[in-house]
Structure formats: structure tokens, C-alpha cells
């Protein structure tokens, strides 16, 4: 990529709906870097591992607990004076950081979570990777980490898959989890925008989080995840650490995830977006989810895909509505028998049926008319799986070239 290429990309990334504030912040972050070296995947330096690891057996609990990674990782360092250094594809290993590094004190960290799937046709696919890479730029900008051209990050992810895909993900129907991450890595305790950043991409195992009997959610009564003017829309580590206490409490009480409320409004569930299907008082069938406009929730790629599929393929029977709604709206619909089903949607939990929501110490039952799922939950999940695993040819399924 020519040094001018990043200035050519100064229009805010498309495909992501964000309020103007973020779009202009992204724009300025990119502008600030014109003249510096851009992130350039064509400069990738490949150092193959000399000590290949053995692939753990499927279902190996330890590999899941410790997030065992594949043989290689991507790293790239950015410096304020010069820009991005040549990215590297190198043996997986520990990072070296000063104890004074910005990330360790001020949570200058953002990340992405995406899966790579081994299809029915033996091909390897990512699901809408360009959307993850564009969102990573928005998250990085929110915490003053440097800009990059999202398509260059996508190329780096593909480069990692090209070397590790065949060995680490051989079997049809399986997936691995990719974690692109950026941290403020310069030493210095001054509370200031990072002078140096490190981007890395690792690939690891993640269990299938499907839970028999559906997810049970505990509505948050005395804690919030995000607030207006905050950073709930960004995938930054600072959103997660402080949520773990509530999640632990929910688990101790027999629930799987917290359903985060803000002034009674339903926002999202754990690290998934929340959807509910209900009949309106007038009898219309609606698929409802919280809107992005107030920047409280994460703009999930699964969420976006479900919205688009529902609009394209279910509009005859189901009206898709992005709106604010409250637990009281849900309670009323439960009492009037208008709830059809509810589900959570995100890369980690995928499309997960919800069987109950606890609110004010009462379990509200969410129907699962197909036994283990609601009808629309099952339909949408199957459509997405067909795209991810190549049963349906669709532009969202991006095939990865592999070295054979
Ligand atoms: C990652 C995440 C989601 C889901 O986003 P996907 O792009 O669908 O994986 C939803 N909510 C939060 C808080 C998240 O961190």
C-alpha cells in the first residue's frame, strides 16, 4: 500500500452505523496519521515456527480453559513519530511489556472476536470480516489508539489463516476463534494518549456455548454496563472487567448471563445482543431489538446480519423493529401472553435461545415452542450457519485461500 493510501481512505468506514461524533473522531484519527507509515500487510515478515505445537484433541478442556493458541500470531507495532512498522507473522509466544505500559494501567485495549469455519465443502470461511475490521478501528479510536486501514487488518488475519488453518482447523463443521487486539504498549505512567501501540492477532479454541434448555438471564437491577456518552458501543476491554462481578453473581444464583438494563431499558445480554419476538396489542408479530442510536450497545455483526435476514426473508410474517423498550414492556407482554420467543445473538454464543429472564426476583418464562428453541430463533440460526459453513453461497461468507 502506498503511503498516500491511508489518506485516500479518509471517509469514515462504511457499513457501520455510528453517530457523527465517532465518525468524525475516526476521520481525525486517520488524518492525524497522514504522512506516517500506514499499516501495510504487503510488508508482512514471515518467520515460521521451528517448534510446532501439537493440536489438542477435540473437547480437550485444558485447551479451552487456557485458550491454547495456534502455532503463529500476527503482531504490528505503531509509533507516534513514524507510524506502523512492518507487521510480522511469527511463532506464537508471550509479549514483552514494561510494567508501566499504558494498557496495564489505563485500559488502552480494544479487541475483536470472530470465528473461522471449516465448511461442508472443506473450504475455510470468515463471516463478514470487513465488518469486524471496521469496528476495530472505531473501538481503537474511542481509546486514542492509532488508526489503520481496516482492509489491511483483514489481509493480516487472512495471512495467519493461510499458514495455520489447515493444521488447526481440519474438520468440517468445526470453528476456531480469532482475537485481533490492540494495546497501548509504550512505557510511561503519564495519563496521556499512547505513544506506541501493539496490534496482534491470535487464534484459539472456544467451546460451543450452546446450552441445553436455553439461556437464563438475570436482569441487572443495580448496575449498568454502559451509559450515554460512554463507550458501550466500542469493543474495549474496559467494558468487560467491571461487568464480571455481576456475571459472577448471576451464575451464583443459577443464571447464565446478565441482561443489562439502563433505567429499565433493555440493552443487551452479556456479550450478545438481545432480541425478542412478541405480538403487539394489535396482534402484529414483531422482532424487536434495542437501537444503536444512543451508542449504549455494541453494534453486533450477528445482530446486523439477523436484522438484514429478517427484513429480506421474513418480512411477510415478522416486522423488524429497532426501538427502546423496557422490562415493563416485557412483563406486560408476558402477562398478556404475547411473548413468542427471545434469543441472544453474538459471535461467542451465536444465536442462543433464552428460556427465562429474572426481573424483580421473578422468573419470566420465555417460550421455546420448538422444544429447544423458538421458531424464528431456529430459522435465523440455520440461515446464518448455512452461510458460515458454505451450504449457502453468500457474500458474507469470505473464503480463505490456504496453502495445501
Ligand atoms: C462482541 C459483542 C457483541 C456481539 O457482537 P458480534 O459482532 O455479533 O460478535 C454484543 N455485545 C457486546 C457487549 C459484545 O462485546
Interval between CA 80 and ligand 1 midpoint (Å) = 30
Interval between CA 140 and ligand 1 midpoint (Å) = 16
Q: Could you confirm whether domain 215-388 is CATH 3.30.70.980?
A: no
Asked if 300 and 272 count as a contact pair (C-beta separation under 8 A), the reply is yes
| Beta strands 88-91; 350-359: pairing state | unpaired
* Ligand 1 atom with minimal separation from the 347 CA: 9
Give the Cα separation of 245 and 224 in Å (integer).
12
Q: Whose CA is nearest to atom 6 of ligand 1?
A: 300
pLDDT digits (tens, 9 = 90+) for 74-95: 999 999 999 999 999 999 999 9
Q: Whose CA is nearest to atom 15 of ligand 1?
A: 271
Name residue 326's beta-bridge partners: 265
Cβ of 347 closer than 6 Å to ligand 1, yes or no, is yes
- Whole-number pLDDT of residue 329: 98
User: CATH says 4-204 is which class?
Assistant: alpha beta
Give the Cα separation of 295 and 227 in Å (integer).
8
Cβ of 237 closer than 6 Å to ligand 1, yes or no, is no
pLDDT digits (tens, 9 = 90+) for 61-76: 888 888 999 999 999 9
Name residue 278's beta-bridge partners: 286, 339
Cβ of 294 closer than 6 Å to ligand 1, yes or no, is no
| Residue carrying C-alpha cell 473450504 | 123
Interval between CA 34 and ligand 1 midpoint (Å) = 31
- Whole-number pLDDT of residue 21: 58
Interval between CA 281 and ligand 1 midpoint (Å) = 31
- Whole-number pLDDT of residue 368: 95
Interval between CA 175 and ligand 1 midpoint (Å) = 18
- Whole-number pLDDT of residue 304: 98
Q: Whose CA is nearest to atom 12 of ligand 1?
A: 271
- Whole-number pLDDT of residue 4: 39
Interval between CA 138 and ligand 1 midpoint (Å) = 14
Give the Cα separation of 198 and 84 in Å (integer).
9
Interval between CA 272 and ligand 1 midpoint (Å) = 5
* Ligand 1 atom with minimal separation from the 303 CA: 8
How many CB atoms within 10 Å of residue 79? 16
Interval between CA 180 and ligand 1 midpoint (Å) = 14
Q: The C-alpha cell of 354 is what?
A: 433464552
Residue from 33, 49, 128, 114 nearest 88 by CA? 49
* Residue spans of beta strands (DSSP E) within 11-65: 45-46
How many CB atoms within 10 Å of residue 226? 21
| Residue carrying C-alpha cell 446450552 | 211
Mutate to test the pocket of ligand 1, among 15, 226, 235 (most ligand atoms within 8 A of CB): 235
Interval between CA 42 and ligand 1 midpoint (Å) = 30
Cβ of 119 closer than 6 Å to ligand 1, yes or no, is no
* Domain residue ranges in the chain: 4-204, 215-388
Q: Whose CA is nearest to atom 13 of ligand 1?
A: 271
Phi, psi (degrees; rounded to nearest 5) at 8: -65, -20
Residues in the chain: 404
How many CB atoms within 10 Å of residue 159? 20
Widest Cα–Cα separation across the chain: 66
Q: Whose CA is nearest to atom 5 of ligand 1?
A: 300
pLDDT tens series, the chain, 404 aa: 333 334 333 344 444 444 555 677 777 777 777 789 999 999 999 999 999 999 998 888 888 888 999 999 999 999 999 999 999 999 999 999 999 999 999 999 999 999 999 999 999 999 999 999 999 999 999 999 999 999 999 999 999 999 999 999 999 999 999 999 999 999 999 999 999 999 999 999 988 877 889 999 999 988 999 999 999 999 999 999 999 999 999 999 999 999 999 999 999 999 999 999 999 999 999 999 999 999 999 999 999 999 999 999 999 999 999 999 999 999 999 999 999 999 999 999 999 999 999 999 999 999 998 889 999 999 999 999 999 999 999 999 999 998 76
| Residue carrying C-alpha cell 458501550 | 232
* Ligand 1 atom with minimal separation from the 304 CA: 8
Amino acid at each position: 500500500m502506498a503511503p498516500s493510501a491511508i489518506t485516500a481512505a479518509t471517509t469514515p468506514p462504511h457499513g457501520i452505523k455510528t453517530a457523527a461524533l465517532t465518525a468524525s473522531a475516526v476521520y481525525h484519527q486517520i488524518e492525524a496519521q497522514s504522512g506516517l507509515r500506514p499499516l501495510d500487510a504487503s510488508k508482512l515478515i514471515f518467520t515460521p515456527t521451528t517448534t510446532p505445537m501439537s493440536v489438542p484433541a477435540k473437547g480437550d478442556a485444558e485447551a479451552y480453559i487456557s485458550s491454547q493458541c495456534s502455532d503463529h500470531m500476527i503482531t504490528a507495532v505503531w509509533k507516534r513519530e513514524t507510524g506502523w512498522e512492518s507487521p510480522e507473522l511469527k511463532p506464537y509466544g508471550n509479549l514483552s511489556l514494561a510494567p508501566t505500559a499504558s494498557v496495564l494501567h489505563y485500559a488502552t485495549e480494544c479487541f475483536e472476536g470472530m470465528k473461522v469455519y471449516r465448511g461442508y465443502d472443506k473450504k475455510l470461511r470468515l463471516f463478514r470480516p470487513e465488518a469486524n475490521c471496521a469496528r476495530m478501528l472505531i473501538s481503537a479510536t474511542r481509546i486514542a489508539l492509532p488508526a489503520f486501514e481496516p482492509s489491511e487488518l483483514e489481509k493480516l488475519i487472512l495471512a495467519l489463516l493461510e499458514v495455520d488453518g489447515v493444521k488447526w482447523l481440519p474438520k468440517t463443521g468445526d470453528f476456531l476463534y480469532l482475537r485481533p487486539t490492540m494495546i497501548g504498549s509504550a512505557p510511561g505512567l503519564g495519563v496521556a494518549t499512547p505513544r506506541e501501540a501493539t496490534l496482534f492477532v491470535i487464534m484459539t479454541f472456544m467451546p460451543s456455548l450452546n446450552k441445553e434448555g436455553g439461556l437464563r438471564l438475570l436482569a441487572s437491577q443495580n448496575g449498568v454496563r454502559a451509559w450515554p456518552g460512554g463507550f458501550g458501543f466500542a469493543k474495549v476491554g474496559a467494558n468487560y472487567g467491571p461487568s464480571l462481578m455481576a456475571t459472577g453473581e448471576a451464575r451464583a444464583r443459577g443464571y447464565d448471563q446478565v441482561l443489562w438494563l439502563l433505567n429499565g431499558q433493555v440493552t443487551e445480554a452479556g456479550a450478545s445482543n438481545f432480541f425478542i419476538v412478541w405480538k403487539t396489542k394489535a396482534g402484529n408479530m414483531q422482532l424487536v431489538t434495542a437501537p444503536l442510536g444512543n451508542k449504549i450497545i455494541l453494534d453486533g455483526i450477528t445482530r446486523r446480519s439477523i436484522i438484514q435476514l429478517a427484513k429480506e426473508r421474513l418480512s411477510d410474517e415478522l416486522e423488524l423493529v429497532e426501538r427502546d423498550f423496557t422490562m415493563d414492556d416485557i412483563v406486560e407482554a408476558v402477562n398478556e401472553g404475547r411473548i413468542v420467543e427471545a434469543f441472544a445473538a453474538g459471535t461467542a454464543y451465536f444465536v442462543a435461545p433464552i428460556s427465562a429472564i429474572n426481573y424483580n426476583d421473578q422468573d419470566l418464562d420465555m417460550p421455546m415452542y420448538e422444544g429447544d428453541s423458538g421458531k424464528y430463533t431456529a430459522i435465523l440460526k440455520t440461515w446464518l450457519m448455512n452461510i458460515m459453513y458454505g451450504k449457502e453461497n453468500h457474500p458474507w461468507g469470505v473464503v480463505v485461500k490456504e496453502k495445501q
